A and B are shown apart, each in its own frame.
Chain A
Amino acid sequence: MNLYQQIAGAVESFVKRELTELSADMEKGDVDAWERCRKWLHETVLHLAPLSEEHGGVGLGEQELCGVLLELGKASASFAVALLSHYAGIYVLQSLNVTVDRNMFYASAGLLSHHVIAAPFIHNAVVVEAGRVELVTGDQLRERSNQVALLGLQGCSVFVTTSDVHAKELGELNLHEQKHIYARVQNLLAAVAVGNAMDALRIAEGYANERYQGGDVIIRHGIVQEILGRMKAKVLLSEAGVLKAAAGGTEDKLMARALAAVLCEEVCVDAVQLLGGYGYMKDYVVERKLRDAKTIAALDRGSTALFKQVIEEKLL
């Protein structure tokens, strides 16, 4: 078994054994549940996954990182996005040759979203704005920023930084580097969206196999089959796009992200629909999947703007 297979196995078993169950508590901001995830990351060293081996990390490539985030996204998009925000911080620090503290949890702003989206146990936020990179400590964020809640990804701490936060200048990224990191982060975000949608699809399919209406299990109704078929195709397409883009260029990544976000949101809308009234209730996880999917789709400037941006930038 190679390293990635080992990691994939560990992630899968954590998702099945613990994360799925923890996710509801994490959404409510339960500190213990988040703490359990933090410990698991330390145990598996996955918090250092994108850091190269020479810097003490795991050195996972982009496709592999997509796989990890996709798997985590199945159980908890909040956790996966918080981890991605940390990875984004690491990317920037690496790019600036700033040493990454192995015990610290980072978050970022300006790559994933303009807000700082973080795990509750965040230590530092790496803020990128027009190429300038600054570091803000978690304590300062907690004290001086406005904390807001989002439609989805609940349980994450979301800070809107205010001007009186004291930031430490770290350096500058050139436009090319910034774009490159931005695109990588966006593609990884798409992987979370795919994982989230895959799970919504799994739940909807399971429900359709059990729920009797119209004289039969609903999966036997043509329209339900069509909806499920479309959902599957959308998930398949999104996943393929994300994995291919992981090895591709900036443009591929942005397109994969925009498309996956749109398609995965549609999948989650349909999943709620297939569960009928039950799907709309908080006890059934799909409503959370829909809120998460919409939030992922709209983060930063939303998918519509991204589609446009890809072409617009080529013209410049």
Chain B
Amino acid sequence: MSNIENYLAPSSIEDAAAALAAGPATIVAGGTDLMLQTGSGQKTYAPTLINIQKITEMRGISKDGDTIRIGALTTITDLLTDAIIAEHLPVLATMADKFASDQIRNASSIGGNICNASPAGDSIVPMLMYKAEVVLVASTGTRKVPLNEFFTGPGKSVIQENELLIGVDIAVPPAGFKGGFGKFGPRPALEIAMASVSVGGVVKDGVISDVRVAFGAVAPTPIRSAETEVALEGKKLDEETISAAGEVASSSVNPITDVRASDWYRRHLIRVMTEEILNDVS
């Protein structure tokens, strides 16, 4: 049984922060995770339900100098068509194209995907690669947390009960930056990733630098792989480097076996997708 005593739909970040300060609340954006998790009993509602969808200042993508802000209510569909994303952060559009189905992309927010904190959350993997920072607001102030320090376990993060994630900030990648994203499941649509990979770096004269590598669905949270980054940094992107990096990538992870894939298969997918992306950018 549900116990929602109070429903609020604030239209500003300030009002939402004040509502969060007033007592325990559940936030809802698109509802695609929350409706299912409350329906199955995996999650229970706090006494107050706060619908943030009317906070228009939290939707959309903007560029201020060298920083791109993606508002928390930006949908996965928005990423597919936005000009700033296409020009500066195209790997997010590649990700969006592999996300769920049209109906789910239209409803799913970036903030919800991050705060749901699934080890397989698709948008998180390329955002780790782009070194995103999340912007958290409470009535007491604003703080920024690097995305790779945000998650603490499946469904868990450092966000506090009184905080609202208002967006993510990503620095415009340096000139010559190239990257990719790969996700694998039994069919192309509506799949939770068995494993996902995002790799990026500056490729100049065949040499890759400023390398960032991130994996999804192979650890309790999406992760950056420092070992794979070191194996690539400053190297010529030839067959030898790429195959060595694939080897390091697959041995650097320690995935679980579950109904969707065995640990062996997940490691294999990490190797293959890492090599595929490196071949594409080389």
Chains A and B bind each other: no
Task: Using CB atoms and an 8 Å cutoff, list the residues of chain A in contact with chain B.
Answer: none
